[in-house]
Amino acid sequence: MAAASPLLAYLPLLLLLAITFSPATATASPYPAVTPLHLQALRHQRARARSADAKYVTAAAAAGNTTAAKPFTAHYFPQELDHFTFTPNASMVFYQKYLVNDTFWRRPSGGGGGAGPLFVYTGNEGDIEWFATNTGFMFDIAPKFGALLVFIEHSLTLQLSLIKCCILAIDEQHRFYGESKPFGNDSYKSAETLGYLTSTQALADFAILIRSLKQNLSADDAPVVVFGGSYGGMLASWFRLKYPHVAIGAVASSAPILQFDYITPWSSFYDAVSQDYKSESLNCFSVIKETWDVVDERGASDKGLLELSKIFRACKTVKYAYSIRNWLWTAFTYTAMVDYPTPANFLENLPAYPVKEMCKIIDGFPANTDIMEKVFAAANLYYNYTGDLTCNPIEEEDDPHGLGGWQWQACTEMIMPMTVSNESMFPPSSFSYDERSDECLQSWGVRPRPHWITTEYGGYKIDKVLKRFGSNIIFSNGMRDPWSRGGVLKNISSSIIALVTQKGAHHLDFRSAVKGDPDWVIEQRRQEIEIIQGWIDQYHQDAAEV
């Protein structure tokens, strides 16, 4: 059987790149089901039964609020289902979740004057609270700016959390994600309901919510800066381009807005993952590269699958060889994405520089050790660094953070072609727009619009185009992050800035400042703060002149 190809795993992206293989379709389709950037890793977090209260307390501490159980409050905003038509269903209302923290917000002194800025996070492809608690940078800088923090969910419901601070950060949940489901439990039922899940509708949700919130807070003149990481970073940059009258600037971290059409080489993502491992150890790279044929060979029989299940400490005997492949593929890919310089628990609990640690494990075995033992031990660092798991739920699937809508987006507008080259440590594979279209038609009853994103938001010759009509965007990337290859890596103008670090990983700059942060991360965040301050100062200067 031909190996299933992981080409269509888009992050998100961030939030959003692992692939879930469906037993029902594995032999019929060369493509696996597409899952968002962060979904596969999060499935394993539920097994650890991590405390939600602990998560909130950690975030509260990052915000400087050590007494609050949660660093934000949740709210729900009535959104219209369809912002772009006047059909009978268009005015149907659903409730979008958003989170607010006003701890340090400088409230308006009267007549809307003197209010601190709103810092709004444009929600990703999942539960907004998860992203809010992993975006400590906004909490860290809120006191300096007197900002209101808002996190908006990209879904049917919107939660608003108010943070005590000088910054307004909105955590808005993207429609159809988390709790923001326009049709409740029937939201994913068919294309009839999912047709309202688009990036353009989500951006309109953000604009309407932000304007309403400012009016309700008597802060009409307060400047708004949007933040986003991964897919949320794409939304933040697009929001600034589409709604410049709503947001004065955008900070887009690890936003692969050029990962479409033929702008970025299709093999770049997996070439970058491979380079991360090769840079640590050529032996490590070679061992992983040899793994896939061995998995297929042993997994071709029931006896081999039983042997693999024992080696990989599966909770249940695995039924398909590609389940082991996917488990390993996910571990190596996500570890490259979150190759942070300090310990972190964004996707899983991991040590500092986990790629280096994985390669140390592989290189530490005697040369004649079974290759499966080597790669299991390395992948186990990703899934079970803390030692909490007694077995690995390799073929169990769940969606603890409400990311399921990404498969629809990856079959409609978010078509990011990916291939695996011969130089990669993964098995070579190709991409076909026609095959992808047929697969999506079979799965969802719709065909993708593969070139819609570049038509709607641009991307080709972006340096020349945005130089003349765009402004006030920070594109930050770390080159250890494979998604960086689809990002903006050079300054476009004096106000559209690319901040690139060679050792940075997936939206590392958005994480809370911690002891042990290297100087280059500290400097990257310092530059971001300085640029944001410049946008706000210019905004107030322009307002004063008027």
Other Cβ atoms closer than 10 A to 382? 25
Give 2-42 as a DSSP string. PPPP-TT----TTT---EE--TTTTTT-SSPEE--TTHHHH
Structure tokens, 457:
């938001």
CA distance 163 to 394: 39
Catalytic residues: 230, 481, 506
**Alpha carbon distance 418, 7 (integer Å):** 5
Q: Radius of gyration of the chain from Cα atoms?
A: 23
Which of 217, 118, 135 has its CA nearest to residue 536?
118
Q: Which residue has the tokens 């080597």?
A: 374
CB 392 within 8 A of CB 315: yes
- CB burial readout 37-66, b (16+ within 10 A) else e: bbbbbbbbbebeeeeeeebbbbbbebbbbe
> CB neighbours of 63 closer than 8 A, spacing ≥ 6?
71, 101, 103, 136, 139, 140, 142, 163, 164, 165
Query: How many residues make up the chain in this entry?
Result: 546
